[in-house]
Amino acid sequence: MHRPEKMIGQGAAPGLSRLQIIEVDSTKRSHEPIDDYQFSTRFDHGGKNLRVWTVEIGYGGYPYATINGKKVQQSQEIELCQDYNGRIVLCKKVGLMLIGYLREWKVDGYSKGFFQYESTSVSDPWGTLNDRLTIR
C-alpha cells in the first residue's frame, strides 16, 4: 500500500476520553464559556443565531446532538492535535498527532432549551460519553 510522504503512522487511535460542551454563542449573548460541571448557561440566549461548541479528546464516532429532543446539525468540525510540547493545538502542521475535534452545532430557531451531545468511542475503552446543558 502506498503511503503519502506527509502521512505519519502514530499507532493505534486513542479511545474517546473526554467530551464536553465548552461554549454557547447567540445573537443575544455571544461567547459564553461553559465550565466543567456547569448544568445551565448563566445568561439568557436567543436571537436569530444559536451555536453550541463541543470538544472531544480521543476518537469518537457518530457524534449526535439534540435540543429539546430534536436532532441538530453539526455546522463545523475542527481537528485538534498535540504539539511536540504536549499542548492541544489546532492541526496546522504536518506531523502532529490528531487527538480530537472541536465541533460547532447549529441550533438556530431556539432561544432556550435542553441541549444534549454524545459520541461513541471507536477504540478501547469503547463506550459512549455525553454532556448536557440547559440553555436559558
Q: Is the peptide bond before 125 cis (omega within 30 degrees of 0)?
A: yes
Residues 6+ apart with CB under 8 A from 120: 16, 60, 61, 62, 126, 127, 128, 129
> What are the counts of helices (DSSP H) followed by strands (DSSP E) for the chain?
0, 10
Residue with cell 449526535: 64
Output the tens digit of pLDDT for each of the chain's 136 residues. Answer: 333 334 344 556 688 999 999 999 999 998 999 999 999 999 999 889 999 999 999 988 899 999 999 999 999 999 999 988 889 999 987 788 889 999 999 999 998 999 999 999 998 888 999 999 999 9
Are 98 and 79 a contacting pair, CB within 8 Å? yes
Are 77 and 133 a contacting pair, CB within 8 Å? no
User: What gap in Å lies between CA 106 and CA 51, rounded to an integer?
Assistant: 5
